[in-house]
Structure 1
Amino acid sequence: MELDDLKNKLKDKLAASCERKEDLLAIIHGRSGQTIGRLKRSLAFEISISILFAILTLLLMVTTDNPNVRELSGFLFIYCLGFVVYMWRVWVQVRRSGSIYSSSMLDATRKIHDTLSQYVKVCFLFSMLAVPVVWVIMIRFGMKEAKVEKGDPFIFFRQVKFQILLAWLIVWSLFVYFLSRWYLRKLYGNHLDDLRDQIRELENG
């Protein structure tokens, strides 16, 4: 009789432990779903802003009479368009990976984390690659102006205009670097850290 009571107590403890484990996993699943939702909204917001900026640069390119502004806005339009295409591919990939009803929550969360972590790296690289291109375009503008005014494009490098432009480009480049790091951290970094912690909890669950 005592043996039966002991078995029943062990069964009750085991059942209670399983229920607590299932409740804990359900909580983790819910938190992961919320974090993934925030990451998707961040990506959708960035796609919308990039499309809007691409439209504005296109309008500026076709309406301006200044050839320098047209060249710069043309570069920015192509740059934004390429970035929008890449972001859309990431969006589709995240949507497919996030189908938790067709795959396990752990696998889906891992795929989304890996996809968006890679996206953040590429996004930062995109921002930094634009810096030297803008440098070249702006210096070319100065050389073209010096050729028209003085007949020698290289005289631009001996003018005060070049020193002012150089200082402006250095400050602008540092601004882009730190803004990109802060912006990506604010939009994705904290959520990706949360997702990484939730992956560990799912693995240990």
Structure 2
Amino acid sequence: MMKLDNLKDAWKQYAAQAAAVHQVTEDQISGLMKARTENAVTKLKKNIYFELGVQLLTVVLFGIGAVVVQGDEVMKALCVMIMVICLPFLGYFWARLQHLRQLNVTTANLRATLRNLTEMLTGLIKLYFWTNMLLAPLGLVAGQLVILKLAYGINISHLPWEQMYLRLMVGFVIGAVVGYLFLKWYIRKMFGNHLKTLKGAYCELESLEIAA
């Protein structure tokens, strides 16, 4: 009987030691969430670099178009208008990138960092969605005019506008519908998963602090 009791005590001691070895400490959990946050920030930077590239390429191409196009004032004005629309986006994404580059993710300020990132990304998504929802129909109309110019060499200034109204209006409506569907998919792909990751990490950190 004594041997059985000793065996039970030995087993309990071994089980306790094994549990202690495999137990995940609060610091380890915070470290894991710090790594997840840094990973999300790195991917977010890449996506913002992509957006900056798209905006910069658009500004450069239509800037060249505004200079090269001669004798077509409507096309020249269209190029300038697209440049003016893209420049604020270029500035906005550059500011967001600088904010992320200056961010120092540490376990000491992890909760504040996660909250800051979540608020920033939520604001970015809302602004990006609604401004592009307004611009998508105009973009499709402008795209039709650019195609007429580049593919068919038509002088946009000399178009029979009274015959173009219906075509442009249809393009405007299609642009609104397609723009909405595309933007929902695009934003979820580019930013939505990062926002979900950051929110999840923030909730886990709050739960850890409450449990402590």
The TM-score range, normalised by the shorter chain, is: 0.7 to 0.9
RMSD across aligned C-alpha pairs, in angstroms? Answer: 3.3
Structure 1: how far apart are the matches of 2:186 and 2:27?
A: 37
Q: 1:165 aligns with which of 155, 168, 171?
A: 168
Structure 1: how far apart are the matches of 2:141 and 2:45?
A: 35
Listed as ranges, the gaps of 5+ residues in structure 1 are 1-8, 147-152
Q: 1:51 aligns with which of 42, 51, 56?
A: 56
Alignment match, 1:181 = 184
**Cα drift, residue 173 of structure 1:** 2.3
Structure 2: how far apart are the matches of 1:129 and 1:19?
A: 49
Alignment match, 2:202 = 199
Q: 1:99 aligns with which of 91, 104, 107?
A: 104
1:116 aligns with 2:121: yes
The aligned length equals 184
Q: Which has the higher contact order (CA 8 A, sep 6+)?
A: 2
Verify the 8 A CA contact 1:35 1:194 in the aligned structure 2: yes
Report the CA distance shift for 1:84/1:36 in structure 2 as closer, same or farther (over 3 A): same
Structure 1: how far apart are the matches of 2:166 and 2:157?
A: 13
- 3-state SS of 2:25 partner: helix
> What TM-score results when the alignment is normalised by the length of structure 1?
0.75
1:34 aligns with 2:39: yes
1:81 aligns with 2:95: no
**Cα drift, residue 40 of structure 1:** 1.5
Overall identity of the aligned pairs, in %: 21
> What TM-score results when the alignment is normalised by the length of structure 2?
0.73
Report the CA distance shift for 1:134/1:39 in structure 2 as closer, same or farther (over 3 A): closer
Structure 2: how far apart are the matches of 1:53 and 1:132?
A: 17
Structure 2: how far apart are the matches of 1:19 and 1:132?
A: 53
Verify the 8 A CA contact 1:54 1:76 in the aligned structure 2: yes
Report the CA distance shift for 1:143/1:106 in structure 2 as closer, same or farther (over 3 A): same
Listed as ranges, the gaps of 5+ residues in structure 2 are 1-12, 146-154
Q: Tell which deviates more after alignment, 72-81 or 98-107.
A: 98-107
**Cα drift, residue 19 of structure 1:** 5.0
Verify the 8 A CA contact 2:34 2:106 in the aligned structure 1: no
